Amino acid sequence: MSVKTVNTAAGRLRGDHTDGVARFRGIPYAAGPIGALRFAPPAPAERWTGTRNATGFGPTAPQPVLHPANANLAPLTGPGWVSGDGDYLNLNVWTPDPGTSGLPVLVYLHGGGFMIGSGAAPAFDGTAFARDGVVLVTINYRLGAEGFLALSGGTTNLGLRDQIAALHWVHDNIAGFGGNPDNVTVFGESAGGTSVALLLHSPLAAGLFRRAIVASGHDEMARGLELTEELTKALAARLGSAPTAEAFREFTAADLLRAQAALFRNQPRPDLRDANGIDPGHRRALFLPTTGDDVLPDPVGVPSRHGVDLLIGTTLEEANLGLGAEQFAAFDAQAAVAELAATYPDAEALLKRHGLHDRAVTPAHALTAAYTDLMFRSPSRRTARRHPGPTYVYEFAWQSPLYGAAHALDVPFVFATTYSCRDLIGDAAPDALTQAMHQTWIDFATHGDPGWPAYDDTRQVMRFDVASHLGKDTAPDDSGYS
């Protein structure tokens, strides 16, 4: 191992260099959101003197601890809350060599339902991308109550503002790491994919990226300002506090985590259904981005503002993992309808379209399939059809031994880190699938062409499997899903 140094706008960094890849970790892109900076827009990172050590990951955002039953998700969510000094608005860079120039840049926004996760997860290791000539960046951003409330005297969409601040840092500094600031692709999965889809609507993100990749996300998972204010009031009531930034700053991050956990678990919850009777988070994502401010001024359902190249897709069986599927096994038909009806107005009709009451389909399977399409596949395709720029669609269809083609299982194939997720995908992850997906992301980031036709009137989709192939889209159309 050797040492590499890089100059940034805030000071000089020291990273490590092993086997042709340089790594710089825990780099602050904004000031720590502590004290008066809590519930406020991200402020510039403070400059430092001398050379800052960037050989280890930095602190991570406050977040709840994973339930032991979900411990196998840790490679995709990271180390949890690492409090450190509160300086958790940081990012990590992998590059072939800081001495090169003009390399394509991929900036990854992690998932986790806007409540958990970090850029330090093992599955997001950027070594393979760097070895293949791409500069890879992962970031942390504010989560949960710290990042997605509407407090009087505070600022909305703090988590998205953090992401935009990180993209500004990339634009201003990435050339020093060998990257091309004019060839940046922002990509993410789940909440990260939804973030990317929403950044396509943000005037504050204009000019910060040339391409976008949305995995298991879309631009419909956001709430109007009035509903975010209702959520904020409910959390304030749990705390016995006024819903103001000044009052919330008196509580520790741990206090807020306890209050949001109680709000998430207990009844009654605030009614977060929109005018159509739909909760876009379906009680699984309590905190969501907010429309109606300067970050997202447009309502849900309109074409995006930035007509950049877009690659967007889902897995075939999204709801098989991490969305409550393990709880559905004992459901009868009545319980399945009641579960979905809490967040969707025409639940029984939707479940019937997915086989409810068919002898060959259990209520659990019908409900899981309904959530897969309702929360992911159908809105993802609507996002694709609305996008004004070149758009390409994919679907991850490989069946893992335990969870099938479930939510998030495509991520380690993209990063070529399947070794880190054996508890989820087993020991027989096809090398050909890893190569196909990893190379597709590189090709798209390099020149905007993933290798198949755009998603126009032909509705052609690349289906990634043991033998990947192009085929007609099988996701349901808008009927009954809008």
Residues 14, 236: Cα–Cα separation, whole Å: 43
In this structure, what token pair is assigned to residue 20? 């042709």
Catalytic residues: 190, 318, 407
Residues 277, 340: Cα–Cα separation, whole Å: 12
- Asked if 62 and 44 count as a contact pair (C-beta separation under 8 A), the reply is no
Given CA atoms 346, 352, 355, 357 in this order, what sign does their dihedral have? positive
Where does residue 330 rank: exposed (0-12), middle (13-18), buried (19+ CB within 10 A)?
exposed
- Asked if 85 and 167 count as a contact pair (C-beta separation under 8 A), the reply is no
Name residue 190's beta-bridge partners: none
Cβ-based neighbours of 167, under 8 Å, separated by 6 or more: 107, 184, 186, 205, 208, 209
Chain-centroid distance, C-alpha 40: 22
Q: What is the pLDDT of residue 431?
A: 96
Residues 192, 189: Cα–Cα separation, whole Å: 5
Residues 287, 290: Cα–Cα separation, whole Å: 9
Q: What is the pLDDT of residue 68?
A: 66
Residue among 11, 112, 106 at smallest CA distance from 407: 112
Residue among 108, 126, 91 at smallest CA distance from 13: 91
Task: List per-residue pLDDT tens for the chain, 482 residues long.
Answer: 688 899 999 999 999 999 999 999 999 999 999 999 999 999 999 999 999 999 999 999 999 998 766 778 999 999 999 998 889 999 999 999 888 899 999 999 999 999 999 999 999 999 999 999 999 999 999 999 999 999 999 999 999 999 999 999 999 999 999 999 999 999 999 999 999 999 999 999 999 999 999 999 999 999 999 999 999 999 999 999 999 999 999 999 999 999 999 998 887 789 999 999 999 999 889 999 999 999 999 999 999 999 999 999 999 999 998 766 678 888 999 999 999 999 999 999 999 999 999 989 999 999 999 999 999 999 999 999 999 999 999 999 999 999 999 999 999 999 999 999 999 999 989 999 999 999 999 999 999 999 999 999 889 999 999 999 999 999 987 543 33
Residue among 274, 249, 267, 228 at smallest CA distance from 114: 228
CA atoms within 13 A on the CB side of 246: 3
What domains appear along the chain, each with residue ranges and CATH number?
1-481 (3.40.50.1820)
Three-class SS string for the chain?
A: CEEEEEEECCEEEEEEEECCEEEEEEEECCCCCCHHHCCCCCCCCCCCCCEEECCCCCCCCCCCCCCHHHHHHHHHHCCCCCCCCCCCCEEEEEECCCCCCCEEEEEEECCCCCCCCCCCCHHHCCHHHHHCCCEEEEECCCCHHHHCCCCECCCCCHHHHHHHHHHHHHHHHHHHHCEEEEEEEEEEECHHHHHHHHHCCCHHHCCCCCEEEEECCCCCCCEEHHHHHHHHHHHHHHHCCCCEHHHHCCCCHHHHHHHHHHHHHCCCCCCCCCCCCCCCCCCCCCCCCEECCCCCCCCCCCCCCCCCEEEEEEECCHHHCCCCHHHHHHCCHHHHHHHHHCCCCCHHHHHHHCCCCCCCCCHHHHHHHHHHHHHHHHHHHHHHHHCCCCEEEEEECCCECCCECCCCCCHHHHHCCHHHHHHHHCCCCCHHHHHHHHHHHHHHHHHCCCCCCCCCCCCEEEEECCCCEEEECCCCCCCCCC
Q: What is the pLDDT of residue 69?
A: 67
Residue among 160, 184, 159 at smallest CA distance from 173: 184
Which residue do the tokens 């190379």 mark? 439
- Asked if 450 and 211 count as a contact pair (C-beta separation under 8 A), the reply is no
Find the Cα–Cα–Cα–Cα dihedral 170, 173, 177, 180, rounded to 10°: 60
In this structure, what token pair is assigned to residue 258? 């306890």
Radius of gyration of the chain (CA): 21
In this structure, what token pair is assigned to residue 129? 């991308």
Which residue do the tokens 């980031």 mark? 445
Q: What is the pLDDT of residue 213?
A: 99
Cβ-based neighbours of 144, under 8 Å, separated by 6 or more: 62, 63, 64, 114, 115, 256, 257, 260, 286, 287
Residues 307, 410: Cα–Cα separation, whole Å: 25
Residue among 60, 58, 59, 53 at smallest CA distance from 16: 53
